[in-house]
Amino acid sequence: MFAQWRESLQHFMDWFLRKRAEMRFFFAKLFTVFILINLGCYWWALLTTYPHLLNTWKGDEYILMGFPVAVMGAMFDALSFYVTVEIIRRALVSKGNIQFVSYLSVDILIAIVATFWVLFAFVASGWLVSQFLDRPETMTYRTDLYEGRFWKALQDPFAPDNLRNIYFGMMMGASALLPTLYHFGLALFSALRWVFGRFKVAGSQS
């Protein structure tokens, strides 16, 4: 199973290095893609949780917030992408399976850090937009607002408002979870290939 997992990751690494060498302005294009993904996640989360907010007096604020949130999210995603590539490179040259899995597990930490980055992005973006719209709010106010929502979600995650906030946060952190989900997907795919291979060998011997 681990051999097949390594093989799948090697295919990804070969593809990435080839694309980076062939494509002009690779990083700029990658960054643009991450901005679009984050912007799409923001609008999907907003329209599926709080669409009524767009019709309030702060509707323009929520519309404008999507852009700095998307840029800041893309900054994190681009950095985590290159960290993930380095993790994969080190995992592929590791000797043992335990070391191999340990390297790839670092992506779980990246997913956790992404949660707090999303909170920071909303605090900073909300403050920035409030200055632009001449409705100045302090960073302290914005921090207390989102920090309060975060702790409420932890204390009572099944309350309707908290569920919506958790869902919103998950959607906003979806792009940062892609490397972790990719690793888990490859691991599952490799395990299934190994299991079916064992069944095939057993069937041919019977």
Higher-pLDDT residue of 39 and 166 is: 39
Residue 1, pLDDT score: 64
At residue 135, the pLDDT reads 76
Query: Where residue 71 falls among pLDDT bands split at 50, 70, 90?
Result: very high
Looking at every residue in the chain, the average pLDDT score rounds to: 80
> Is pLDDT of 169 > 60?
yes
User: What pTM was computed for the model?
Assistant: 0.76
List, for residues 87-128, the tens digit of each pLDDT value: 888 877 887 777 777 767 777 777 778 778 888 888 888 888
Q: Which pLDDT band, with edges at 50, 70 and 90, does 14 fall under?
A: confident
For the chain, the domains span 2-194
Catalogue the long-range contacts made by 99-105 (C-beta closer than 8 Å, 24 or more residues apart).
Answer: 100/2, 100/5, 100/6, 104/183
What does the DSSP 8-state code read for residue 56? S
Q: Cα angle vertex 185, ends 180, 187, to 5°?
A: 100
Q: Taking a C-beta distance cutoff of 8 angstroms, is the pair 132, 50 a contact?
A: no
Cβ neighbours of residue 13 closer than 8 Å, sequence gap 6 or more: 85, 88, 89, 92
Q: Is the distance from CB of 143 to CB of 123 less than 8 angstroms?
A: yes
- Distance (Å, whole) CA 10 – CA 2: 12
* Per-residue confidence (pLDDT) for residue 35, from 0 to 100: 92
pLDDT tops 80 at residue 32: yes
